[in-house]
């Protein structure tokens, strides 16, 4: 029996998260993704629209 694997935005590569963020507007990224957790803050800080 296989055990379920928990997936989150932090378990996928940052470049894939950046591709997802490409489809969101700046306001949505700042209000919905920023300050959720330290890991997402690091990813969004490295994102080219905010770097």
- Answer yes or no: is 37 within a domain: yes
pTM over 0.85: no
When the pLDDT of each residue in the chain is averaged and rounded to a whole number, the result is 86
- Answer yes or no: is 6 within a domain: no
Contact partners, residue 9, CB within 8 Å, separation at least 6: 17, 20, 40, 43
> Which whole-number Å values give the CA distances from 5 to 21, 27, 38, 40, in the listed order?
23, 31, 22, 20
- Answer yes or no: is 51 within a domain: no
Residue 50 is predicted with a pLDDT of 58
- Answer yes or no: is 36 within a domain: yes
Quick check: 51 pLDDT over 80? Answer: no
- Answer yes or no: is 28 within a domain: yes
Q: Do 10 and 41 touch, CB atoms closer than 8 A? A: no
Domain count, the chain: 1
Range of the structural domain that residue 24 is part of: 14-46
Quick check: 12 pLDDT over 80? Answer: yes
Residue 4 is predicted with a pLDDT of 82
What number of CA atoms fall less than 13 Å from residue 12's CA on the CB side? 9
């Amino acid at each position: 029996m296989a055990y379920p694997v928990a997936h989150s935005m932090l378990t996928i590569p940052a470049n894939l998260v950046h591709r997802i963020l490409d489809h969101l507007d700046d306001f949505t990224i700042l209000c919905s993704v920023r300050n959720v957790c330290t890991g997402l803050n690091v990813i969004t800080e490295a994102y080219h629209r905010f770097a």
